[in-house]
Amino acid sequence: MVGNSIVISVSKDFLAENHLQVGDAILLDEDKLKEAITKKNTHDAQLDFLINQSLQEYNDTYKDLVDL
């Protein structure tokens, strides 16, 4: 982070298609960006549910495995 700025990553293909080079300073239209960007959801609620269910059901077994 530099001042009020941050670094973002884009693909090499994006750089080439837009005639950009690593290190180029660019300006983004933040209003347009809001419409175009989505946050990658790396959180899986179903997986969390299954892990919690497993921990509740097999907690003693997991503790025993740690002690091996």
Q: Is the pLDDT of residue 1 over 60?
A: no
- Rounded to an integer, the average pLDDT of 14-33 is 90
The predicted pLDDT at position 55 comes to 92
Q: Using CA atoms, how far apart are residues 61 and 57, in angstroms rounded to an integer?
A: 9
Q: Using CA atoms, how far apart are residues 65 and 36, in angstroms rounded to an integer?
A: 47
For the chain, give the mean pLDDT: 86
Residue 57 — pLDDT band, cuts 50, 70, 90? very high
Token pair 């300006």 in the structure block, residue: 27
Distances (CA, A) of 1 to 6, 37, 38: 4, 20, 21
Q: Is the pLDDT of residue 42 over 80?
A: no
Nearest C-alpha neighbor of 56 from the set 45, 44, 48: 48
